[in-house]
Amino acid sequence: MKKIKFAGFKSFMKGRGFIAALCLSVAAVGIATYIAYDNTLREIAAQQSFTPDKPAGNEVSDLPKDDEDSSDVAESTDGSSVVQSTAPDNSSSVPEDEKTNNFVSTKPVRMMPVEGETINPFSNGELVKSETLGVWKTHDGIDIACDEGSTVKAAAAGKVTEIRSDPLWGVCVVIDHYDGYQGFYYGLDKQLEVNEQQEVEAGEAIGVTAPFDCEAKLPPHLHFGVKFSEKWIDPLEFTAQN
């Protein structure tokens, strides 16, 4: 009996049955190989598609951003990152002189206290004869012709340090114009616009002109004198320094 079965198996192996079995074995091996290959590809694809929260080895992304210098990151055509700065460029709007200097110096404003012609100049220490008093004396200021009641303005910014009434010169207002300069405004009316210790600006009204005895023979005018470091100087030089 065993011999008959073995002979049948042997005959099967020699015939078409053997070929069919061989094909099935090859197919089974191919299917197993394909399945293993497909699983491997899926694992590789999953690893490549995974992106970590922070790129490994890139410490720059963790640095704090400067509030004064913000930038946008754009992607160029070749895929690389390009930093585009959005901080405003103010270099062209700042003048060259302001780049090298932290402040702008301005000269003090100075002006004539009244508008008019100088009818009697500063004598610079020389003796001149007074038409009113008939004596030889220095003329320590300038006489500026103006109508009686003309508004007298501060020739420069300063502080009223003294207001006095003189029997010859009338009402006089003294203003400290700083930097060693003092202004003397003679021949004013008693009704003044300022008080002692008051701060004034250049061009601010301090009073109006009125007649006074010391130079009564001259046309109506304001007598204006200036001292620098307690020495009389030409008021025209003071007002010209603008």
pLDDT tens per residue across all 242 residues of the chain: 444 454 554 554 455 565 666 666 666 666 666 666 566 656 655 555 444 444 444 443 444 444 444 444 444 444 444 444 444 454 444 445 444 444 444 678 999 999 999 999 999 999 999 999 999 999 999 999 999 999 999 999 999 999 999 999 999 999 999 999 999 999 999 999 999 999 999 999 999 999 999 999 999 999 999 999 999 999 999 999 86
Let me know if residue 56 belongs to a domain.
Answer: no
Q: Are residues 235 and 141 in the same domain?
A: yes
> By C-alpha distance, which of 194, 178, 157, 160 is closest to 228?
178
Q: Are residues 126 and 181 in the same domain?
A: yes
Q: Are residues 86 and 197 in the same domain?
A: no
**pLDDT at site 80:** 44
- Residue 189: count other Cβ atoms within 10 Å of its Cβ: 15
How far is the C-alpha of 239 from the C-alpha of 145, rounded, in Å? 17
Q: Are residues 45 and 156 in the same domain?
A: no
The three-class DSSP label of residue 240 is helix
Total domain count for the chain?
3
How far is the C-alpha of 99 from the C-alpha of 164, rounded, in Å? 50
Let me know if residue 25 belongs to a domain.
Answer: yes
Q: Are residues 43 and 69 in the same domain?
A: no
Number of H helices, E strands in the chain: 4, 14
The answer to whether 236 touches 118, Cβ cutoff 8 Å, is yes
Q: Are residues 18 and 80 in the same domain?
A: no
For 88, the domain range is 64-100
Q: Are residues 152 and 233 in the same domain?
A: yes
The answer to whether 110 touches 171, Cβ cutoff 8 Å, is no
Locus of tokens 């690893």 = 47
**pLDDT at site 14:** 54
Give the tokens for residue 171.
């009402």
> By C-alpha distance, which of 159, 110, 139 is closest to 218?
139
How far is the C-alpha of 161 from the C-alpha of 199, rounded, in Å? 9
> By C-alpha distance, which of 162, 155, 169 is closest to 218?
169
Give the tokens for residue 202.
């250049």
The three-class DSSP label of residue 70 is coil
**pLDDT at site 55:** 42
Let me know if residue 190 belongs to a domain.
Answer: yes
How far is the C-alpha of 232 from the C-alpha of 203, rounded, in Å? 22
Q: Are residues 10 and 77 in the same domain?
A: no
Locus of tokens 């103006």 = 146
Q: Are residues 226 and 172 in the same domain?
A: yes
Q: Are residues 27 and 69 in the same domain?
A: no
Q: Are residues 128 and 229 in the same domain?
A: yes
The three-class DSSP label of residue 156 is strand
